[in-house]
């Protein structure tokens, strides 16, 4: 059954491999997936560890419910100390790798040390080997997977890095399949620093379902409900690209880096154009929402694009060419680099070029002008291969700005050294608070209360956000207000942590719809599939424990209240475009400070953002790191 999946410690320096069971009491405290990975990160790294050194640990894991009868139970989590920020490193992706790892007998792999030569890790029905991978070094992500499937069998699932990870691009990602990307925080660079090209998994070991009939019936009930939502229906047709037409027409995106909040003449890159190139849609393991398209453009065959591709290679860089988005999407998958960070760094470089801070001499003659499609595609290649100006941009916001100088950091839109999504949160205080306080840097997947944008009636908000813990303050339906938003952000933090612990897709939870999975559903899925009795409040407590241990890690690495903020442009430069409801908006500094204060109080942290002794004792974290596992 799921509870008997093991954890393996793989020492790349010595070749020693040790597999252990995961005690039930550890499961009850951290469940699995991201929660347990963050416990392992805090326990197995020393303060000040070099993220690209051998003492950093890399975790690759499946959630507790992966490969069970839970909806969309396909997510893989990858964790380490981030080489981009120096804070918590964490990435999550769908596909089929985590189920295969589970069928091979493992939920967690912990990689330590560094191999002398390129290697890959082979996980096969309870056994693990470290094998040479010199023949794979230099290959693209798809070439790597194709080669390993030829060697090991077509049923093998592969997680790998591309040239970006080999070159230690600080926002290199890991890839499985055509487009499943563990993108944020540079986990591909960590594997590259350890000379790990890939992890391959094949398993035929059954996952016993504790109450199979009840689990099957409940999953059918949940999936039928999800399928009936308008959200699922439009996601199944256009994927996340459907978001673009609403956010851009409203004026909630950042264009030309951060100079405007709406791309004019954006019709050519709206989601309907995928029908000109698409070959049909596909989905991840256990998912009824086939949210990704397969497409062909100029002989290129790939999957996607997502909303992030539209932003990265569309409105952020001033391009309105759908083929540029499709080709850019392919290139970042090919090289193995984060699409969001790549787009943001390019947009920043273009604003610097416009302002004369970067010149043709700096760019090697590459004209970084808004809307220059050829420059966008060439710059992706240069970043991935660390050539020319791309070598500087590959360092990420803080290090690149230090190299460029000339007050260049002022124009970069980042939090804690990680670039923000191509969204503009100046009219939306809740979303602004979420990116400012996220443990891994500017983030739309850790705490974003996206349903705040829907002007939902207060009773609906109360029904969502008062379960399983009640908020004593007031909610408001206006996304421009500050009241109640600190709690919305905290609640979403707990929801997303819980979902990441069990290995289910966020799109099946309260993210873009208030009608999807919540703590009640997660509790029932855990019980029916594993027999582990955890109430909705128990699941909340696990999420709170995991989020606090991420906070403890960051505090240990020197992060604090000073880092839970936004760049000055959010406070000083009003929005210029969009509907009247968003035009002329900035974040109010005083109200933002009050939101931070409330957010800390709700978390049980002191005024500096440090968890209080009482909070740590309540969560059972007062003796961490305990090295229990």
453-465 pLDDT, tens digit per residue, is: 999 999 999 999 9
Crossing angle for the helix pair 322-335 and 141-152, nearest 10 degrees?
Answer: 50
In this prediction, residues 304-333 reach a mean pLDDT of 97
Provide the pLDDT confidence category of residue 628 given band limits of 50, 70 and 90: confident
Can you give 32-82 as a three-state secondary structure string? Answer: CHHHHHHHHHHHHCCCCCCCCCCCCCEEEEECCCCCCCCCCCCCEEEEEEC
Write phi, then psi, for 522 (nearest 5 degrees).
-60, -40
Asked if residue 625 has a cis previous peptide bond (ω within 30° of 0), the answer is yes
Task: Give one DSSP letter per residue of 447-462, joined into a string.
Answer: S--GGGGG---HHHHH
- Provide the pLDDT for residue 443: 92
Q: What is the signed CA dihedral for 519, 520, 524, 527, rounded to 10 degrees?
A: 60
User: Residue 344: is its pLDDT beyond 80?
Assistant: yes
Is the pTM higher than 0.75? yes
Query: Using CA atoms, how far apart are residues 71 and 218, in angstroms rounded to an integer?
Result: 10
Contacts 24+ apart (CB under 8 A), 386-395: 386/167, 386/169, 388/363, 388/364, 389/349, 389/358, 389/362, 389/363, 389/364, 393/345, 393/346, 393/349, 394/164, 394/167, 394/169, 394/170, 394/171, 395/170
User: Residue 131: is its pLDDT beyond 70?
Assistant: yes
Q: What is the signed CA dihedral for 122, 127, 128, 133, rounded to 10 degrees?
A: -30
Domains of the chain with CATH codes: 2-202 (3.60.9.10), 240-419 (1.10.569.10), 429-619 (1.10.599.10)
Q: What are the pLDDT digits (tens) for 219-256?
A: 999 999 999 999 899 999 999 999 998 999 999 999 99
Query: Using CA atoms, how far apart are residues 418 and 171, in angstroms rounded to an integer?
Result: 9
User: Residue 517: is its pLDDT beyond 70?
Assistant: yes
Element (H, E) at 437: helix 429-437
Q: What are the pLDDT digits (tens) for 94-124?
A: 999 999 999 999 999 999 999 999 999 999 9
Whole-number CA gyration radius for the chain: 23
Q: What is the signed CA dihedral for 556, 558, 564, 565, rounded to 10 degrees?
A: -170
Query: Using CA atoms, how far apart are residues 225 and 250, in angstroms rounded to an integer?
Result: 29
In this prediction, residues 57-66 reach a mean pLDDT of 98
Provide the pLDDT confidence category of residue 629 given band limits of 50, 70 and 90: confident
Query: Using CA atoms, how far apart are residues 68 and 209, in angstroms rounded to an integer?
Result: 7
Contacts of 463 (CB under 8 A, 6+ apart): 514
Q: What are the pLDDT digits (tens) for 580-626?
A: 999 999 999 999 999 999 999 999 999 999 999 999 999 999 999 98
- Provide the pLDDT for residue 627: 85
In this prediction, residues 344-367 reach a mean pLDDT of 98
- Provide the pLDDT for residue 191: 98
Query: Using CA atoms, how far apart are residues 409 and 415, in angstroms rounded to an integer?
Result: 12
In the chain, what is the straight-line distance between the N-terminal and C-terminal CA atoms, in Å?
20
What is the percentage of the chain residues whose pLDDT exceeds 90? 98
What is the percentage of the chain residues whose pLDDT exceeds 70? 100
User: Residue 1: is its pLDDT beyond 70?
Assistant: no
- Provide the pLDDT for residue 2: 83
**Which tokens in the block code for residue 489?**
């952000």
Q: What are the pLDDT digits (tens) for 52-61?
A: 999 999 999 9
Q: In 413-569, which ranges are E strands?
A: 414-415, 418-419
SS3 label, residue 230: helix
In this prediction, residues 143-167 reach a mean pLDDT of 98
User: Residue 66: is its pLDDT beyond 80?
Assistant: yes
**Which tokens in the block code for residue 122?**
């082979």
Question: How high does pLDDT run on average in the chain?
Answer: 97
Asked if residue 413 has a cis previous peptide bond (ω within 30° of 0), the answer is no
Crossing angle for the helix pair 519-530 and 485-502, nearest 10 degrees?
Answer: 20
In this prediction, residues 474-480 reach a mean pLDDT of 97
- Provide the pLDDT for residue 38: 98
Write phi, then psi, for 160 (nearest 5 degrees).
-150, 170
> 480-513: string of b/e by CB count within 10 Å (b at 16+)?
ebbbbbbbbbbbbbbbbbbbbbbbbbbbbbbbbb
């Amino acid at each position: 059954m799921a509870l008997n999946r093991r954890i393996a410690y793989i020492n790349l320096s010595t070749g020693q491999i040790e597999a252990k069971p995961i005690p039930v009491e550890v499961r009850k405290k951290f469940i699995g997936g991201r929660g347990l990975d963050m416990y392992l990160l805090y326990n197995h790294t020393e303060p000040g560890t070099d993220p690209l050194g051998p003492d950093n640990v890399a975790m690759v894991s499946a959630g507790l419910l992966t490969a069970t009868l839970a909806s969309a139970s396909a997510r893989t989590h990858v964790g380490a100390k981030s080489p981009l920020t120096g804070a918590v490193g964490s990435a999550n992706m769908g596909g089929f790798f985590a189920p295969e790892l589970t069928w091979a007998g493992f939920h967690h792999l912990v990689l330590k040390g560094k191999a002398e030569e390129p290697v890959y890790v082979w996980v096969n029905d309870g056994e693990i080997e470290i094998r040479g991978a010199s023949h794979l070094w230099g290959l693209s992500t798809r070439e790597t997977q194709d080669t390993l499937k030829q060697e090991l069998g077509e049923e093998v699932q592969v997680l790998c890095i591309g040239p970006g990870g080999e070159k230690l691009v600080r926002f290199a990602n890991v890839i499985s399949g055509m487009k499943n990307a563990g993108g944020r925080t540079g986990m591909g660079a960590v594997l590259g620093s350890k000379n790990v090209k890939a992890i391959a998994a094949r398993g035929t070991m059954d996952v016993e379902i504790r109450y199979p009939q009840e689990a099957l019936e409940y999953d059918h009930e949940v999936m039928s409900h999800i399928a009936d939502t308008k959200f699922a229906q439009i996601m199944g047709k256009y994927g996340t690209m459907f978001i673009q037409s609403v956010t851009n027409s409203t004026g909630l995106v950042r264009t030309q880096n951060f100079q405007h909040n709406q791309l004019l003449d954006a019709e050519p890159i709206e989601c309907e154009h995928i029908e000109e190139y698409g070959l049909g849609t596909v989905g991840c393991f256990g998912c009824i929402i086939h949210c990704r398209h397969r497409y062909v453009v100029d002989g290129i065959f790939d999957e996607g694009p997502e909303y992030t591709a539209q932003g990265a290679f569309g409105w952020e860089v001033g391009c309105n060419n759908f083929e540029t988005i499709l080709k850019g999407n392919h290139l970042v998958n090919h090289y193995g680099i984060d699409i969001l960070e790549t787009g943001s760094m390019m947009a920043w470089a273009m604003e610097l070029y416009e302002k004369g801070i970067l010149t043709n001499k700096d760019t090697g003659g590459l004209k970084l002008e808004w809307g220059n499609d050829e420059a966008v595609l060439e710059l992706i290649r240069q970043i991935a291969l660390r050539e020319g100006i791309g070598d500087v941009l590959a360092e990420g916001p803080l290090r690149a700005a230090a190299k460029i100088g000339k007050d260049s950091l002022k124009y970069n839109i980042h939090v804690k050294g990680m670039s923000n999504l191509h969204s503009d949160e100046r009219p939306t205080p809740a979303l602004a608070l979420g990116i400012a306080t996220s443990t891994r840097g500017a983030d739309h997947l850790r705490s974003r209360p996206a349903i705040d944008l829907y002007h939902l009636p207060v009773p609906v908000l109360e029904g969502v956000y008062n379960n399983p813990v009640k908020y004593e303050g007031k909610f408001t339906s206006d996304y421009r207000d500050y009241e109640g938003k600190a709690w919305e952000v905290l609640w979403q933090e707990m929801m997303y942590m819980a979902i990441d612990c069990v290995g289910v897709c966020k799109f099946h939870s309260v993210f873009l719809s208030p009608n999807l999975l919540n703590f009640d559903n997660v509790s029932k899925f855990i019980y029916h599939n594993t027999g582990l009795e955890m109430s909705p409040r128990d699941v909340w407590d696990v999420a709170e424990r995991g989020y606090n241990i991420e906070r403890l890690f960051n505090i240990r690495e020197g992060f604090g209240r000073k880092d839970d903020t936004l760049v000055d442009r959010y406070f000083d430069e009003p929005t210029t475009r969009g509907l009247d409801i968003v035009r002329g908006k900035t974040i109010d500094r005083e109200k933002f400070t009050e939101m931070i204060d409330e957010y800390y109080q709700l978390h049980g942290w002191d005024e500096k953002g440090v968890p209080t002794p009482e909070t740590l004792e309540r969560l059972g974290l007062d003796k961490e790191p305990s090295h229990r596992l």
